[in-house]
Structure 1
């Protein structure tokens, strides 16, 4: 009976640890250039992220920056602030994967995977095709 209780307790503890690590990505993150904050949140069983702060939220004319580099003409006037740039990440064994990242500076969408680098850093890897061909940026948690 004690062995069964011990096994059940260990299984329960493992489940709690797994659930906590899956949500470790949730929060506000500073991008590598230091000019944007991205709020990552859980939506159902996946994770998304949107731009919630910009160092320079206005263009040279004093107007709110818009998504001018988007290849879709009907999206070029949407505001950058509040724009969802991370989409549909699922957690699997320490990695958030199978999601996409939108780069408003280029107007391109990339496949993406994210891993934790300690408690306060994220490795955000955008790529086309296979993960070997891509770039990793390090984001820092905003406290």
Structure 2
């Protein structure tokens, strides 16, 4: 009986740790486009995301943000470029913005990150209330 109680107690302590790990979006995520990989990391009191890898970066590691609508920003490197900013929340969902797509130069003023499960992240960006686009990213192991 004591062994059963000890095992039950240990399982109760361990379960929240497992649940917490599954609700953590930090790490590397494969995007839907062009072999992209975005790293989500803590920045200040929020989450941000930066370009970690992409097919174009494997061909040209010095690729610049040439599609940026602001000519003054077109010479900045794509590797390390912040594409998600100021996402706050928790328990599987975060909201914030802006979001930026260096492939097109498009920017969404606000968005949402939602974990479907430990390895699947919905990334939604909106330029207006009803004008949104969603991508599904998978965790890179």
What is the TM-score of this pair, normalised by structure 1?
0.76
Moved more, 89-98 or 20-29: 20-29
Partner of 1:129: 128
CA drift at 1:22: 9.4
Q: Is the 8 A contact 2:123 2:134 kept in 1?
A: yes
| Distance in 2 separating the partners of 1:92 and 1:129 | 24
Separation of aligned partners in 1, 2:23 and 2:40: 10
Instruction: Write the mapping of 1:1-143 to structure 2, written as runs, cut at 5 A.
Output: 20=20, 24-33=24-33, 35-57=35-57, 64-110=62-108, 111-130=110-129, 132-143=130-141
- Where structure 1 has 5 or more consecutive residues not aligned to the other structure, the ranges are 1-12
Q: 1:94 to 1:69 in 2, by over 3 A?
A: same
Contact 1:37–1:53 (8 Å) recurs in 2: yes
User: What CA distance in whole angstroms lies between the structure 2 residues aligned with 1:63 and 1:26?
Assistant: 24
Is the contact made by 2:22 and 2:118 (CA closer than 8 Å) also made in structure 1?
Answer: no
| Moved segments of 4+, more than 4 Å | none
Q: Distance in 2 between matches of 1:25 and 1:135?
A: 19
Residue pair 1:114, 1:122 contacting (<8 A) in 2 also? yes
C-alpha separation in 1, matches of 2:74 and 2:34 = 24
- Find the aligned partners of 2:47 and 2:22 in 1 and give their Cα distance: 10
Specify whether residues 21 and 98 from structure 1 end up closer, same or farther in structure 2 by C-alpha distance, changes over 3 A only.
farther
Task: Please state whether the residue corresponding to 2:117 is helix, strand or coil.
Answer: coil
